[in-house]
Amino acid sequence: MFPMRRNRMMRTLLSVGTLAVVYGIAAEIGRGRLPDRIWLGTHYVENVQLLPPYRSLLEETAFLLESGILPSSIAVSAGRVLLGFVLGGAFGILLGIATGRAARAEYLADPWVTFFRFTPALALLPLFVLWFGYGEGSKVLLIAASVAVVTLLGAHQGVRSVPRVYLEAASALGASPGLAFRKIVLPAALPHIFASLRIGLGLAWVTIVVAELIDARMPSLGYLLTLAGAYPRVPTMVVGIATIGALVLAFDLLALAAHAKATRWMRRTA
Amino acid sequence: MTAGDPPRLRLQAVDVGYTYSGPTPTQALEALSLDVHDSEFLAVLGPVGCGKTTLLRIFAGFLRPAAGSVRCDGSIVEGPGRERGYVLQEDAIFPWMTVRENVEFGLLARGVDPAARGAVSSELIRLIGLSRFEEAYPKELSAGMAKMVEVARVLATDPAILLLDEPFGALDAQTRARMQDELARLWERRRKTVLFVTHDVEEALYLADRIAVLSPRPGRVKADFPVDLPRPRSLEARFSPAFSALKRRIWETLG
Amino acid sequence: MRRVPTQRFVLGFASLLATVLAYTLLSNARLFRPEIVPPAQEIAVAFTELVVGARPPPVTENDIHAGHHVHSSDHVGTLLQQGVTLQDSLAVTAARVLFGLAAGVPLGVLLGVLMGWSRRADDYLHPIYVLLRSVPPLALITYVMLWLGHGEAHRLIPIVYAVAATMVIPAYHGVRDVAATYVVAARSLGARRWLLVRKVVLPAAGPAVLAGLRYAVAIAWMTAVGAEMLMSENGMGNLIVGGGLWASRTQTKADPAVVIVGILALAAAGWAMDALARAATARLTRWVR
């Protein structure tokens, strides 16, 4: 087990390292060779560095950090994602459990769930702007909506797919419906719920890139990307994309750790 | 109850019939009648698909007979009840609970306080020899150990009647023999009424006081054998002439 | 037992009907301003206009003064002027979605199968995949535009990227966790490379891949609509926001009736495509219990 693990770590370092070196070399080769005047359909933009070398990326990062732009943008955007994630997740899970538990509730909700399960929550954006204004509410609720859709389905399926034998065994041991729900249905549905929460977290970050164009203003990562694209200023763009990527990765690792902890009892395939 | 009284009737099935609906309806049981007496270890023996499990599920209260009636201690069975402990054929140990939590679950359902639950579970877990695994999750147990936890989980609630559905069906021969010894030992300590479903003639002979042989589908009781081998039964019992003679008679009925 | 399907149908139908009725009543009760919650008939009018591609001439004096169209004239009017219809927009978005699936699914499945098949490939590729997957597809759109110019590519690439990233995981787990046992069995029966892949690995991983496909369809629609909302002169995203968000920084005043028509159309299209995907799944995996 252990030598295997070290092998894997070496290979990870090797592949990520190679990628980083290849980028560095490509940026050096590209300097002066890649086009720097680009037609955007309506006008030309000048002095575009399509592959900014590490030096300018580092300078840009230093500038964004020192000026406080990046830290405040991260705080604001991550705050919105978290708030929307918690609201949407709670709503979706509760509704999914309700529709999974009660056959009647499911029958009532079913046509709507079936119909809207593949509707992009992003399409709600103009409606949310009308209903909740240009402020924080629209952005957070849009994120909540996209998270709610997947967690609803996850919780619903989780509750539905609890093996019959566990419910029968519990009932034979005299468990009341309430106890069976707390001790059997919920833990058995947990892996499904966690999987959907992880997907929802990913969707929340997709949504915020668009949601932060509502009444776009700094500080926010979504608007930072938009501004960088408008100039265009590629180093800012790359740093912005990398920052969002790093945040998504960090959130996902946290979610994965929580998932692993909550489902320690599960048999794992190595 | 004094020694002279006839043994009390605990479970009774009268003319029970059951048919599974579906694209190809199958009649599982037809006009089956069976009595189980107090403190009796009754094995129901029959080929795969003869409706043994259906019968047990009816006694457990998870299926309603389509015809006839099923009674427990004189009253009609309408659903699961705390006087009947039921061990399913499938693996039904709760994988998200530790061994201890599994064993204590039935007591939790009855609102027993934690200290009393702990006392019962420690005792039972020790009895099945799994004290080392008390706080382990079922993923660390072998199939035989997991099944024993399921039996202990039911015993913890101290039901008067045990319904066991091929509990050792999926185990290898050696583990199975060991589990049978464990079960026999547990039963001798706590004399319960046991209804034990199996397709293994030797297992039925080794454990039971009486064996009811079912016919192939639709199942009904084809023959009834008292097993008057001395207890406690041991390895020698399995090779005794009386054992072999009975085994032969049962095989003849089955064939 | 018998009664369940009937009950399901009746309750489902009742719930649809009740919601539509309740909406009609509430929206007409003028509890909210009509430019926030448009009356149901206005949604129907917007739908007709967007399908026909023209605005019917006013019939009576009354109609003109009723004020129904005063607000919607902006959004619908602009769209009609540009010659946009609902079915054209839907067709454009569906075409982008289909392209995204056609290019993204093989790419993702190939990567997933490779990673699931070879431990070595998994060790090298997985970290890079995790890094790439972490970048939200829509965040890439402006950067891709710089590389490939203002055309179709920068709308399509995020969709392909999103679909491929989604398909890797089911293919990976399908091959690594499900197929592995059968591969051992097939190998010992003498099956080699291509036969092994075609007859064992792909069918065994099939159910997982097809389940992932249903999810990828949803992701493709979401990314396509998002990309169109950000920067596109056509498609459903454009119809809903009335022009690219990216250019306008969302100062557009959308008409809720159009948005609702758009959402209903997207739901219907998504539902239809999912029904197709499910039918294909059922057909391809008939052997699954």
The confidence band for B197, taking pLDDT boundaries of 50, 70 and 90, is very high
Q: Mean pLDDT over residues B77-81, rounded?
A: 88
Q: Which residues of A touch B (CB under 8 A)?
A: 165-166, 168-176, 179, 183-184, 187-188, 190, 263-267
Nearest-by-Cβ selection for B92 from A169, A174, A179: A169
What pLDDT shows up at residue A143?
93
The confidence band for A5, taking pLDDT boundaries of 50, 70 and 90, is low
Cβ contact, residue pair A166, B91, below 8 Å: no
Whether A38 contacts A45, CB under 8 Å: yes
Q: Hey, is the C-beta of B140 within 8 angstroms of any chain A C-beta?
A: no
Number of continuous H segments (helices) and E segments (strands) in chain B: 8, 10
Residue A141 has pLDDT above 90, yes or no: yes
CA torsion, ordered A134, A135, A136, A137, to nearest 10 deg: -70
Q: Which chains touch C (3 or more CB pairs under 8 A)?
A: A
A244: enclosing H helix or E strand: helix A234-262
Cβ contact, residue pair A117, C36, below 8 Å: no
The confidence band for C192, taking pLDDT boundaries of 50, 70 and 90, is confident
Query: How close is the nearest chain B Cα to the Cα of A163, in Å?
Result: 9
Q: Which residue has the higher pLDDT, A181 or C9?
A: A181
> What is the C-alpha separation between B27 and B19, in angstroms, rounded?
4
Query: How close is the nearest chain B Cα to the Cα of A215, in Å?
Result: 47
Least confident window among A76-85, A157-166, A216-225, B150-159: A216-225
Q: Which residue has the higher pLDDT, C248 or C57?
A: C57
What pLDDT shows up at residue B58?
93
Q: Hey, is the C-beta of A195 within 8 angstroms of any chain C C-beta?
A: no
The confidence band for B187, taking pLDDT boundaries of 50, 70 and 90, is confident
Residue C191 has pLDDT above 80, yes or no: no
Residue C253 has pLDDT above 70, yes or no: no
Identify all chain A residues contacting C15, using CB atoms and an 8 Å cutoff.
Answer: 107-112
What pLDDT shows up at residue C252?
54
Identify all chain B residues contacting A165, using CB atoms and an 8 Å cutoff.
Answer: 88, 90-92
What pLDDT shows up at residue A270?
42
Least confident window among A250-259, B33-42, B202-211: A250-259
> What is the C-alpha separation between A213 and C14, in angstroms, rounded?
39
Q: Which of B37, B62, B4 is nearest to B212 (CA)?
A: B37
Nearest-by-Cβ selection for C15 from A108, A226, A249: A108
Q: Which residue has the higher pLDDT, A13 or C250?
A: A13
> What is the C-alpha separation between C100 and A199, in angstroms, rounded?
20
Paired residues of B37 in beta bridges = B9
Which range is most confident: A95-109, C52-66, C258-272?
Answer: C258-272
Least confident window among C112-116, C129-133, C233-237: C233-237
What pLDDT shows up at residue B195?
95
What tens digit of pLDDT does each residue of C7-42 get?
777 887 888 888 889 888 888 887 777 777 888 888
Identify all chain B residues contacting A188, using CB atoms and an 8 Å cutoff.
Answer: 96
Closest-CA residue of chain A to C173:
A269
Sign of CA dihedral B200, B205, B209, B210: positive
What does residue B69 show for φ and ψ, rounded to 5 degrees? -140, 155
Percentage above 70 pLDDT, chain A: 96
Kindly report the average pLDDT of chain B as a whole number.
88
Cβ contact, residue pair A174, B150, below 8 Å: no
What tens digit of pLDDT does each residue of B220-250 get?
888 899 998 888 888 888 889 999 999 999 9
Say what the pTM is.
Answer: 0.81
Least confident window among A77-81, A212-216, B153-157, C245-249: C245-249
Closest-CA residue of chain A to B103:
A173
SS3 C32: coil
What pLDDT shows up at residue C179?
75
The confidence band for C79, taking pLDDT boundaries of 50, 70 and 90, is confident
Least confident window among A234-248, B20-34, B86-100: B20-34
Q: Which residue has the higher pLDDT, B2 or A263?
A: A263
Residue B93 has pLDDT above 60, yes or no: yes
What tens digit of pLDDT does each residue of C242-252 get?
755 555 544 55
Helices marked H in A54-102 = 54-66, 69-101
Residue C6 has pLDDT above 80, yes or no: no
Nearest-by-Cβ selection for A16 from C19, C128, C270: C128
Cβ contact, residue pair B106, A174, below 8 Å: yes
Residue A57 has pLDDT above 50, yes or no: yes
Nearest-by-Cβ selection for B137 from A165, A184, A264: A264
Q: Mean pLDDT over residues A199-224, rounded?
A: 83
* Beta strands B221-226; B210-214: pairing state: antiparallel
A-B C-beta contacts closer than 8 Å = 71
Q: Hey, is the C-beta of A122 within 8 angstroms of any chain C C-beta?
A: yes
The pair of three-digit structure tokens given for residue B219, joined into one six-digit string: 């199942």
Least confident window among A169-173, A220-224, A249-253, B2-6: B2-6
Q: Hey, is the C-beta of B138 within 8 angstroms of any chain A C-beta?
A: yes
> What is the C-alpha separation between A225 and C77, in angstroms, rounded?
32
Residue A8 has pLDDT above 50, yes or no: yes
Residue C60 has pLDDT above 80, yes or no: no
Least confident window among A87-91, C57-61, C246-250: C246-250
Residue C69 has pLDDT above 80, yes or no: no
Q: How far is CA B54 from CA B14, B29, C27, in A?
A: 15, 8, 56
Cβ contact, residue pair A183, B157, below 8 Å: no
Paired residues of B42 in beta bridges = B195, B210
> What is the C-alpha separation between A152 and A155, in angstroms, rounded?
5
What pLDDT shows up at residue B42?
95
Residue A54 has pLDDT above 50, yes or no: yes
Nearest-by-Cβ selection for B62 from A168, A264, A265: A168
Question: Is ipTM strictly over 0.90?
Answer: no
Residue A131 has pLDDT above 60, yes or no: yes
Mutate to test the interface with A, among B77, B105, B153, B165 (most CBs of A within 10 A): B105
Identify all chain B residues contacting A184, using CB atoms and an 8 Å cutoff.
Answer: 94
Q: Mean pLDDT over residues C59-79, rounded?
A: 56
The pair of three-digit structure tokens given for residue A86, joined into one six-digit string: 């918690």
Paired residues of B43 in beta bridges = B196, B211
Cβ contact, residue pair A118, C273, below 8 Å: yes
Query: How close is the nearest chain A Cα to the Cα of C80, in Å?
Result: 19
Whether B92 contacts A169, CB under 8 Å: yes
Residue A266 has pLDDT above 60, yes or no: yes
The confidence band for C196, taking pLDDT boundaries of 50, 70 and 90, is confident
What pLDDT shows up at residue B6?
66
End-to-end CA distance of chain A: 10
Closest-CA residue of chain B to A180:
B109
